[in-house]
Each structure stands twice: as structure tokens, then as C-alpha cells.
Structure 1
Amino acid sequence: MAQPEREHADPAREVGEIVGRLTDSGELEPAERRKLLGRLTRTLAAGSKRARESGETRGRWLADVFLNIAPRIPIRDLQTLSEHHHGLTGEQLADDLVRTAQKGTMTVGAIGGALAAAEFAAPPLLLSAPAQLVAETIVVAAIEVKLLAELHEVYGVRIEGTGTQRAVAFTTAWAKQRGIDPLAPTSVSLALGAAAKTAVRNRLLRTLGRHLTTLGPFLTGAVAGGVLNRAATKKLSAAVRADLRGKQAPPHLAAVRELHPDDPRELGS
């Protein structure tokens, strides 16, 4: 009886819900993570098919999907981050966030690579691999956008704007692999433009292309998926942290924010 409800469910909402669970700060059992990734793959496959039928390109559709779910990515404020990471602050907290994100993207890459490796041995099933790799791409991108946004919290770089504006600004910063300059008056407004959407599309396609290397026999896909994702997340974090160190709020303002946190827990709240 549950099947009809699934058929009439809002695909965008379902994708946002699944990605939110896969990027949440809580630990997921491997079996649950695989189950969610499989569910995401099926949902995205259906959406991709509809996009192709309407003549929409893969890159444009992928960017639209990700920008739609970006406001649903759960982002923690500074106080919550410190509580979740055993009271750490400053560079030590940033280090721990990066380690956690690397573990997350590596795990997703290993799961996706292992599934792709299994399908490699069964050619008829290989047709489902692209949707699976799209799912992996979106989850990895979401983990990295979450990391980037939370690093801004750690370094006291406050980005103003509505929840959606901030979500798009962080996503655009991820596409450019840089931190956001809060003193630039157009830092948020430009993030809503066509150029920003193109940057997001190109970054997602680049990430998807990287994941295509996980299509291989035996366990080569799993190894490649995990290692490549971990390296990419490490590179992103290094670039963003270098940017943010020069844009940190003065110590007295950082102390005020820590005592009176009023930031939303989610980008879109």
C-alpha cells in the first residue's frame, strides 16, 4: 500500500530529504548509507529521464537539482560545532571538520565504486551506473558545501542574506573552490546570477567526470572512488581555509557571536 504514496511523492523534496540525511552530523550504519544511496539513485534516475524527454541537458538538470536541495543541507552554528567536536575551537575544530568530511566523501566514493565494480561484471546492469554516479556526485558535493559553510562559521566569517541566498553563495563558493569575501558588497547578489549557475554546473560535471573513473572491474572502482574523493575534499578545504584565515572577524566580535549564537541550523531556515 505504500507504493502509490511513493509514486506521487515530490521528487525534489525526496532528494533533499535523502541528501540531508546522508550529510547530517550523525553516524550512519554502512547498510543504511547504502540503502539511502540506492534510494537516491532511483529517484534521480526518474528525474533524469524526465529531463531528457523534455530536451534538458544533463549539466543543466544536475545544477538545477543541486541548487534546489542546497538550502536543505544542515549547517551547524559555531556553538553546535564545538559541542559536536568535543569542545574543540579554532584550527583544531577546523582540522576535525575536514577529517570528518574527508571520511564522508571517501565512504560515499567507496560505496559507489563498489557498486559500479559489481555492475561492471554484469554488462546489462551497467545502464544504471550513470544515475548511481550522479547520486554519488550530489552527495559528495553536499558534504563539501556543508564543510565549506561550517568552516566559515569556525573562522567567524559571517555571510549575510536569506537562507536561500546564503545557500547559493556557499554553493557558488564551492564551485569556485574558494572562501567568500564578506566585505564584497556583491558576494551574495552575484551568487544568484547566470554565471554562478554555470560555475556550479561545470563543477558538478567535473566531479561527475571524476566519478566515472570508478567504473572498473573487481575492487578498483571502490579504491579509486574513495581515494579520489578524499583528495578532492582535502584540496578544497586547504584552499578555503587559506582564504578564510585572512578574513576572520576581530576577536571581540567572534567572542560576542559565540556567546549569542543566532545563526540558523540549516542554510534554508
Structure 2
Amino acid sequence: MSKKHKMADEDYPTTGHEWDGIREYDKPMPRWWLWTFFATIIFSLAYVIAYPAVPLIKGATPGLLGYSSRAQLQRSLDSVALENAEIEQLLLATPLENIAKNPSLVRYASAGGGAVFRTYCAQCHGAGAQGATGYPNLQDDDWLWGGDLAALEQTIQHGIRSDADEDTRYSEMPKFGEFLEEAQIEQLVEYLRQISGQDYLAETSANAEVLFADNCAACHGQNGEGNHEQGAPNLKDALWLYGGDRDALRHSIANARFGVMPAWNTRITPAQIRQVTFYVHQLGGGE
């Protein structure tokens, strides 16, 4: 059997290109490369026929196998929902204050509530619920609208100043810069720093108690202890939603604050609302 002759470079035709003595040979592609290339073409044609592939005006070609990643995901979600149906019904039927007495409900509410929080709440309140300027810290005991389970559930369901919900919690602080003089605002700033235990200018705050009683006490309380019914913050502690320095206080008094939280009763299920209510309450804050 004769051995196949291996061609030398000089035996191949050239493309006619030559530069500095270097010629470009017209060599055929290796057979393994060609077969691999043809196989990819055949595979792509089979894929286009079998699976959704070609984009159309409203969707894509369904493919002979009728596969859909959305349908597969929905089947998985339906399967999980079916498995959790019994404990979910128990969660909805159990009073919020009794969930902690059932270990199975505690595990279900904590795990589900954590998932809901990380999906919908962490963007504003932080991954650890530590809050930020303008977004409440959910780990402390300083709650504008109350931090017990019932108050938390109502806040999550209906939001704060949410135009989309008729039952939303609502209050609005006046812009005192529109009818108080700058000197009076400065007096209130120093008075707030005084009652919250910060350094203050005694001469400026000396006559501010009457000013506070006339303009602020109706919402914040005679001593500045706050009011859950109106969402008025406690002004005597060291916790400030928008900051307790002079510039922040001056801006709050003159221009007011108007934070908004969306209502979640149309975005997540009743069971998820209960889960995230329990989750937030057991983070360490709450009342």
C-alpha cells in the first residue's frame, strides 16, 4: 500500500500575494475544521426548528417541541405553591401575635419574609434593614407610625402617603419657612438640639419653648416625644431620619419633609405581606 505523499509548501498554488519574499498559499482548510463547521450549521438549523428561535412581531416561532422557559418557570412556581399551600393557609389563619408560637410558621414566615424583603424592600431600607437618610432604619425602636405587628402590617399593606391607596397613612408637615421668620427658625433649630441632647446655643434657644408649643407641639407632643397617629417623629432621641445637624434641621423646619412609601397590597400576596411583617418585626426593632 503506497504511502500518501505529503505536499510541500511549494506544491500548493498561491493567491498571487507576495510581500518581502513571503507568499500566501491557497491551502484547503483541515478536514476536521470543515466537518465541525458543517456540524454547527446542521445543529443550528435543528435548533431553530425544534425550539423558539426566530423573532416575530408578537413573540417568536414556537418550535416543534413547544418548549418555553417561561412555562417551565411557571410550572416550578406552581409546584412550590402547591407544596406550601397548607402552611400558607395556616399562616393566613393564625393571628400575627401567635405566629411566633409555632416553629413551623416561624421558619416559613422568616424565610419567605426575608426573600420578599430582599426583593422589594432592600432597595430603600438596605440589605440589612439599616436604612439611610430619608429611609427608616427597621432595626431600632424608633417608629414613625408604630412598630408593633399590627402597625407594621398596615404600613406595608397601604403604604405611607401612597396616592394609589385610599387607606394609606397620611400626614403632612407645614413648610414653616413660609410664615416663620429666619430668626424664629434658628430658635427652633437650637431648641431641638437642646431637647435631643446635642450641643446648642443657649441664648438662641432661650425663648423657643413657647415657639415650639405654638407651632410644633400639636403633632410632635408638648415635650417633643412624637405621635404615632400622625407619623410625627420623636424629637428628643438621637435618631434622625433626615439628620440632626443644624443644616438638616433648618431644612426640615423651613421646607418640611414628605417621604413616600408605596402600598404593597396590590403588588405582593396577603401571605407575603404577613411574612415580611413578621420578618421585619423579628429583626430586632419593632415595639
Please, what TM-score do these two structures have when normalized by structure 2?
Answer: 0.23
Structure with max Cα Rg: 2
**Structure with the higher helix share, 1 or 2:** 1
**Structure with the higher strand share, 1 or 2:** 2
